[in-house]
A and B are shown apart, each in its own frame.
Chain A
């Protein structure tokens, strides 16, 4: 969907403000939201693409006025209700009686201590061993399709309709454009090189380039 999350190339979104000696978390609630997402994620109610899309579906004005971890919180609340794991009433009732939580010694939740250790060491590799033929090869000239789906996509607006060159094949990965919507498609992913001038016009440096990772259905061969 063409909302504000797809912000590459938009002007007027403000200045970059690096913070010196920035803490990892700025408040206790940020720590909790960070860990809640992972703890909840281990239950397998949704995948990463559905989570990203839940953030993208925030009203654009709200997206811009809230922080990164507020985006996460919004997405968790949205998905819990949509997946019928909790009702909106559950959430508002819990807010009415929110009190400090007593720690429990042994929970049977999927993200337990051994799971955390395993998560950090191994992560969740998403590449799929699949020997299907790739449609493009290194050096192929391609055009990014002008797709304007109302759903989730990882093809940014600024690249659509632009000509690029396949620089590397990365193999087969889940295809987010389907994976965020109940599908389970997998597709080849490629590193694609675009010149800065192709994307931004003649005022860009003739030396500069951009590289994006795109899935096969995002592109077609050009001549």
Chain B
């Protein structure tokens, strides 16, 4: 049992180390311009005017800040879950998936709240197209913390991001 715990600890420790290295050095880490990509796409698809775009950005920024700790926890749980599956700790993996689901719901709630606020800014003709592009808002929130898929999500895809969530 001690050996198993040691194994998991080592895997997790190194994945954590790996993350620190990546964040500081990885050239694929999102730059601010990339982070805005999803919001730009959303703005383009719904033809937001300047004022709407600025207000949406403020909403996204606030949501990013609120979502940060949850996304960090999601990433951490993902690392633990990977370690548990690699080392065959099925009961630990079961616990972690429950935690992951709870965190995923928390993060999605923040994204949904941001989406609701942005919808309130829209004109009726814009609102009709908003739901199908929720993924872009979700991604914009996620990218502020953990990066997101290059090129942004497409209609018909769910959003990426959150160090493990999509």
Binding partners A and B: no
Footprint of B on A, CB under 8 Å? none
Footprint of A on B, CB under 8 Å? none
